[in-house]
Structure 1
Amino acid sequence: MRTEDLIKALDADARSKAMPLGPAWWAAFGVAAVVAAMVFFMTIGPRPDIMPAMHTMRFMSKFVFTLALTTSAFALIRALSTPGAASRRAKLWMLVAPALVVIAVILELFAVPEADWGRRLVGSNMMICMSFIPLIGIGPLAIFLGMLRYGAPTRPVLAGAAAGLLAGGLAATFYAAHCFDDSPLFVATWYTIAIAILTALGALGGRLFVRW
């Protein structure tokens, strides 16, 4: 069978599902958000001073990064789960979140004395960050990998990695409400590592469970 014929067959299979793929993705994301919220509130919950913290730019900037990542990863995984769908634009949008973090880090380096750079980078919750972002995100990751099987991705490893990025962005959004380390230096380092763990797990899951 030619590649073009395979893609058409997969696309026809994806369209024949009981629920169209687009609404199914929104439903899956809603369920994943509920699962992440349950894990978050049953374990660490928001920081006690969250209301005053919401009036600070550093605290709110964390959500700008995590929500940008979540939004762009959601667009990418929807494109990758549909055979023949264009994903180039969605891939380009994935550059937004890293670019925002880089800008925030540069501004932080100008605003903070060099002697404080190391302390702000290490923070006080490094291990909690790298533990709880994957913990909060593992349930959503399983849901997103299941949705990839509901669709018909032609690049399962890449689609799985996108699922990990989406789960990581969602989990990091919840974790950011608990995290006491608001410096962009901390976010750029430890949030990225924690999200990368979920991305690697997603790529592995795509290879093992989303193959055709």
Structure 2
Amino acid sequence: MKTSELIAALAADPVPEPVHLGRRLAAAVALGLVGALVLYGLVVGPRPDFAEALGTIRFDLKFVDALALALPSLLLLLRLMRPDAKAGALALWLFAPLVLLAAAVVAELIVVPQDEWLPRLVGQNMRYCTTMIPMMAAPILAALIVALRAGAPQHPGWTGALAGAAAAGLASFLYASHCPDDSPLFVATWYPLATLVCAAAGAWAGRRFLAW
């Protein structure tokens, strides 16, 4: 084959469509949230005094803190889907929910008598909390892992762990409307524990399915 014929043949080949990583990630979040909402509707549901609790500082803090974890985690995931990406200053935002919780805990310790600290930390629902958040995060994490396979993350384990944290943040946002325990002492203890479970599952999934 002549050079001119080879060039013409290559030019005739269809150009592969670009992979829209942002769209894939957004679709994964939407699909995962549908699964989480199904579980929420079937198993969890809002607490009976939801309307009364809405607007109180402790109750609203749970939603703010969940979003403070989920949003920077998702933005960082979008960046890390590419093999040459660096986390950069965006990774510092992952400390935002920890700082927020720490400040809330300090305020709680100041205004609440010492003999109430342990009962508020233990709460009423710690086992249910640490079970339901990972359960509702599971469909979100699964969808995120599938979406991340379209990219080429340089560190599959860490990327998977970040996907688990993002899934936990979104699941925590849903679960917060059911949780009867609003004390920052409870939230700062059991919500992060549930998040660690999700991050560990994500790290395993990342090493298993995202390695290249």
Q: Do both proteins adopt the same fold according to a TM-score greater than 0.5, normalized to the shorter chain?
A: yes
Q: Which residue of 1 aligns with 2:208?
A: 208
Residue in structure 2 matched with residue 70 of structure 1 by the alignment: 70
Change beyond 3 A, Cα 1:123–1:204: same
> 1:145 is aligned with what amino acid?
I
TM-score (normalised: structure 2) = 0.90
Q: Deviations over 1:10-61 (max 9, x none)?
A: xxxxxx6654111221121111222211111111111111010002110001
| CA distance in structure 2 between the partners assigned to 1:55 and 1:171 by the alignment | 20
Q: Give the match for residue 86 of structure 2.
A: 86
Matching residue of 1:112: 112
Is residue 49 of structure 1 aligned with residue 30 of structure 2?
no
SS at match of 1:206: helix
> Is the 2:69–2:165 contact (alpha carbons within 8 Å) kept by the matching residues of 1?
yes
1:173 and 1:108 map into 2 onto residues whose CA distance is 21
Deviations 1:122-160 (A, max 9, x none): 000010001100110011111111111111101100100
1:27 maps onto 2:27 in alignment: yes
User: Are 1:125 and 2:125 an aligned pair?
Assistant: yes
**One-letter amino acid of the structure 1 residue matched with residue 95 of structure 2:** L
Cα RMSD of the aligned pairs, angstroms, is 1.1
Cα pair 2:161 2:203 within 8 Å, conserved: yes
Partner of 1:187: 187
- CA distance in structure 1 between the partners assigned to 2:64 and 2:23 by the alignment: 25
Displacement, 1:191? 0.5
Question: What does residue 101 of structure 1 align with?
Answer: 101
Q: Which runs of 5+ in 2 are unaligned?
A: 1-15
The residue identity in structure 2 corresponding to 1:211 is: A
Q: TM-score, normalised by structure 1?
A: 0.90
* Distance in 1 (alpha carbons) for counterparts of 2:89 and 2:33: 25
> Runs of 5+ in structure 1 lacking a partner?
1-15
Cα pair 2:72 2:93 within 8 Å, conserved = yes
CA contact (8 A) 1:36 1:137 kept: yes
**1:163, distance to aligned residue in structure 2 (A):** 0.5
Q: Deviating runs (4+, > 4 A) in structure 1?
A: 16-19
| Contact 1:79–1:90 (Cα < 8 Å) also in 2 | no
**Number of aligned positions between the proteins:** 197
Q: Distance in 1 between matches of 2:17 and 2:54?
A: 43
Partner of 1:155: 155
Q: Does 1:172 align with 2:172?
A: yes
